[in-house]
Amino acid sequence: MKHVYVKGTNDDAMTFVLLHGTGGNEKDLLGLGRQIDPEANLLGIRGQENENGMPRFFKRLGMGVFDLDNLSMRTKELAAFLDEAAEQYAFNREKVVILGYSNGANIAANLFFEIGNVAKGAILHHPMVPREDITLPSLEGLNVWIGAGNNDQMCPIDQSKGLQQYLEQQGADVEMYWHAYGHQLTMDEVQDAKAWYDRHFK
């Protein structure tokens, strides 16, 4: 998978897996990862699907309607790549936090839905419920932060709350942050994610 890896300044640091939104690339969230943890390793990954020239992590059939077969295939590929990257770059596979925005947050959520505890934690900006047709694995020990907007037209409130419920039902510890805006990232949202991260991983 096309990616970029930036080694952190602390050998014992966490590794952020950075998953961009539709139309982004492997470098989009490097600055965000660095804001949340200046010492962390950063692994930015580019989605392998192409929608009208825009990279995505999986196909969709329409706005908010996911191609579930493609989602499952791409999720398994991503999980395998995380193991390969840990070996290639010699980072601790047990100290990984996934940081995703929009489309990237959705495939991150599906990693937990289909694969299980592939990371110690996740920061999910404006995610949706990836699918409702499977039985989720146990997610005991997983810490998740979800950022959402009360006026997000691309990610309705019930989607964010639904994802929280799914994860909590399987034993994950989930913290929600709401702002009054839409699908965009806000500085307050980023600061809240950092405060959550510092409490759980510093």
Point out the residues that are catalytic: 102, 152, 183
pLDDT value of position 197:
98
pLDDT value of position 63:
83
CB atoms within 10 A of CB 62: 7
Please give the Cα distance from 99 to 121 (Å, whole number): 9
State yes or no: pLDDT of 179 exceeds 90.
Answer: yes
Tens-place pLDDT, residues 87-131: 999 999 999 999 999 999 999 999 999 999 999 999 999 999 999
Please give the Cα distance from 40 to 9 (Å, whole number): 7
Please give the Cα distance from 174 to 176 (Å, whole number): 7
Please give the Cα distance from 127 to 8 (Å, whole number): 27
Note whether 150 and 180 are within 8 A (CB): yes
The confidence band for 62, taking pLDDT boundaries of 50, 70 and 90, is confident
Please give the Cα distance from 17 to 108 (Å, whole number): 9
Question: What is the average pLDDT value for the chain, to the nearest integer?
Answer: 96
